[in-house]
């Protein structure tokens, strides 16, 4: 491949220290460790304890610290920061600008991307386009959420699933046969089955919106489950065929971590053995935009230059898609 395109040249990640176990959750809502383990596949998730002034950019800063443990980093070289999140520090200013200032990326402009659990794929797409244009040479993509701040402790449909975490990836140009190869991204406006109605321009924050618990995510789990399986499996299948890849040539599938049964069903439909699927839901839960970069961070030492990797996600919007990358480097 001689066309200019983007390649990931490093990843980082961070999850908060506090481990919220299924046992602790069972003291708040009518559920059990057995049910959550069997039906969702989560044993524990990490939660940012509500402390003043700490939100998603705190997790991003820590993710960047972990990135720097393995990769050289000059903040002044970064030209753009893309932050995929649905739980920014504030409605405004955006979180990309805040993390850029906090970490010395003062030559960069920053934009937030809101695509819920598909945020990392959407963020990569933007970064790839910027780099392929020839105008930008170093872009930092952050993706993550602090879902604990929008999860209702009285709702057993959501409370056991959602968690906090953030990952990051740096993208640079290449003309080698590695990096971003292709993607299929989709969205469909659906405010019915997965939403948070409060806090936007339709239902600004008010005493009533708080009383009605509109500032929490609500979902129709069964419907979201079915859409997630078919949407991720179909886009992966289309992408694999479009790029003439055989199932055997796929080194890794990296799915959004929402429910182990969703991940199993997607792998089954694709005919990809489960040992080629990255899974860390049991320890981190569903960190929304954070799940895919957190997997890449966890698996970084096992990845080899040239590995064929299919990333796939589904989330509120609905938003979904699949992205095909060839890994760009060997472990350091």
- To the nearest whole angstrom, how small is the minimum distance from the Cβ of residue 18 to ligand UT7? 20
Among 5, 22, 94, 117, the one annotated catalytic = 117
Among residues 117 and 303, whose Cβ is nearest to ligand UT7?
Answer: 117
Name the closest residue to ligand UT7 (Cβ): 221
Closest by Cα among 34, 130, 28 to 82: 130
Q: How far is CA 218 from CA 94, 214, 242, in A?
A: 24, 9, 36
Among residues 174 and 287, whose Cβ is nearest to ligand UT7?
Answer: 287
- To the nearest whole angstrom, how small is the minimum distance from the Cβ of residue 275 to ligand UT7? 23
Among 5, 22, 227, 256, the one annotated catalytic = 256
Among residues 41 and 88, whose Cβ is nearest to ligand UT7?
Answer: 41
Among residues 110 and 293, whose Cβ is nearest to ligand UT7?
Answer: 293
Q: Within a 13 Å sphere around the CA of 79, how many CA atoms are in the beta-carbon half? A: 11
Q: What whole-number distance in Å separates Cα of residue 187 and Cα of residue 321?
A: 8
Active-site annotation holds for 243 = no
- To the nearest whole angstrom, how small is the minimum distance from the Cβ of residue 323 to ligand UT7? 17
Spatial contact of 263 and 281, defined as CB atoms under 8 Å apart: yes
Q: How many CB atoms lie within 10 A of CB 221?
A: 17
- To the nearest whole angstrom, how small is the minimum distance from the Cβ of residue 291 to ligand UT7? 8
Active-site annotation holds for 117 = yes
| Residues found near ligand UT7 in the complex (CB under 6 A) | 31, 35, 39-40, 117, 156-157, 160, 194, 219, 221-222, 224-225, 228, 258-259, 262, 286, 314-315
Among residues 31 and 101, whose Cβ is nearest to ligand UT7?
Answer: 31
Backbone angles phi, psi at 281, to 5 degrees: -60, -30
Among 94, 286, 295, 308, the one annotated catalytic = 286
- To the nearest whole angstrom, how small is the minimum distance from the Cβ of residue 30 to ligand UT7? 7
Closest by Cα among 282, 280, 273 to 251: 273
Among residues 131 and 258, whose Cβ is nearest to ligand UT7?
Answer: 258
- To the nearest whole angstrom, how small is the minimum distance from the Cβ of residue 193 to ligand UT7? 9
Please give the radius of gyration of the chain, using alpha carbons only, rounded to the nearest integer. 19
- Residues 6 or more apart whose CB falls under 8 angstroms from that of 216 comprise 150, 151, 152, 155, 158, 196, 198
Q: What whole-number distance in Å separates Cα of residue 162 and Cα of residue 305?
A: 33
Burial of residue 15 (CB within 10 Å: 0-12, 13-18, 19+) is: buried
Residues with catalytic function: 117, 256, 286
């Amino acid at each position: 491949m001689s066309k200019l395109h983007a390649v990931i040249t490093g990843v980082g990640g961070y999850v908060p220290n506090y481990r919220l176990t299924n046992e602790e959750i069972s003291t708040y809502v009518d559920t059990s460790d057995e049910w959550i383990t069997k039906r969702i596949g989560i044993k524990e998730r990490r939660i940012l304890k509500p402390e003043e002034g700490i939100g998603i950019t705190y997790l991003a800063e820590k993710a960047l610290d972990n990135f720097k443990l393995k990769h050289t980093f000059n903040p002044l070289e970064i030209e753009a920061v893309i932050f995929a999140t649905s739980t920014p520090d504030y409605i405004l200013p955006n979180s990309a600008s805040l993390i850029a200032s906090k970490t010395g990326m003062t030559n960069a402009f920053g934009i937030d991307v809101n695509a819920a659990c598909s945020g990392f794929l959407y963020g990569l797409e933007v970064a790839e386009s910027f780099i392929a244009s020839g105008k930008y040479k170093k872009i930092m993509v952050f993706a993550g959420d602090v879902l604990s701040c929008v999860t209702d402790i009285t709702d057993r449909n959501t409370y056991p699933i959602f968690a906090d975490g953030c990952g990051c990836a740096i993208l640079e140009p290449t003309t080698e046969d590695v990096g971003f190869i292709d993607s299929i991204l989709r969205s469909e406006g659906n405010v019915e089955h997965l939403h948070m109605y409060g806090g936007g321009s339709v239902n600004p924050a008010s005493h009533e919106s708080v009383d009605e618990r509109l500032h929490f995510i609500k979902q129709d789990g069964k419907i979201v489950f079915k859409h997630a399986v078919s949407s991720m499996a179909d886009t992966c299948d289309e992408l694999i065929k479009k790029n003439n890849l055989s199932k055997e040539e796929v080194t890794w599938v990296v799915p959004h971590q929402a429910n182990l049964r969703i991940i199993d069903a997607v792998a089954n439909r694709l005919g990809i053995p489960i040992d080629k699927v990255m899974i860390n839901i049991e320890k981190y839960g569903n960190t929304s935009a954070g799940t895919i970069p957190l997997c890449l961070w966890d698996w970084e030492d096992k990845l080899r230059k040239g590995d064929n990797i299919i990333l796939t996600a589904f989330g509120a919007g609905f938003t979904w898609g699949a992205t095909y990358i060839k890994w760009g480097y060997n472990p350091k």
